[in-house]
Amino acid sequence: MLSLTDTPLSAIKFDGETYQINLAFDNVIKYLELVEDDSENKELEALKLFFGDQEIPLDPDFIESSFKLINETITKSAYQGSFSKDWSMNIAPQHIYSYEQDADAIYSSFMMQYHIDLLKERGKMHWCVFRALFDGLSEDTPIQRIIELRQKNLTDVPDEQRGKVMQLQQYYALNLKKPKTEEDVFNSSSLSSAFVSLMNAAKGG
């Protein structure tokens, strides 16, 4: 959630040291994709995403405090509260849009409404700024039209238009790899389990 008075999260202090956190929008999107990834060592990949080549302490307190801040920053909304229930890497799934599948529509929507080239903003635009702009996209933008189409109830569509709307819904349907409920993600996130292992390893020295 963007604040007009506070600087968006970009660093964390731990034991007197400051560690920079990369929360550029494209980096966060890679993180969200990583949540559903089945590859090994993804917990280390997540650390690499946010902290780069910095030498960070593999301390359970550091990991816990870092990802608590990161998840709160990513998921917190002024209107819906925070999706994340604890410090772990639990991200509520998006079932009405996909940053990967809808990349073209999102890009063109930002260009259409804000004249912002998101490709030129990679590595620069903070996630909080990106989300504020995304949430402010008008209903006339490509991504919002697609979202509206996906949510349309066919029973509310006139008979003569229903066939066309159904075809469009099929065309723009999301290719969900592993459909999960929000509760499933919160309770059985493999990435969360991986970080528990990482924390246990840190505790063991």
**pLDDT tens per residue, range 99-113:** 999 999 999 999 999
Q: What percent of the chain has pLDDT over 90?
A: 50
Q: In degrees rounded to 5, what are phi and psi of residue 188?
A: -140, 30
Integer-rounded Cα Rg, in Å, for the chain is 19
Q: Which of 2-11, 12-21, 89-98, 170-179 has the lowest mean pLDDT?
A: 89-98
List b or e across 134-159, with b for residues whose CB sees 16 or more CB atoms inside 10 angstroms: beebeeebbbbbbbeeeeeeeeeeee
Q: How many residues does the chain have?
A: 205
Q: Which of 28-32, 86-90, 174-178 has the lowest mean pLDDT?
A: 86-90
Can you give the pTM of this predicted structure? 0.80
Q: Is the pLDDT of residue 164 over 70?
A: yes
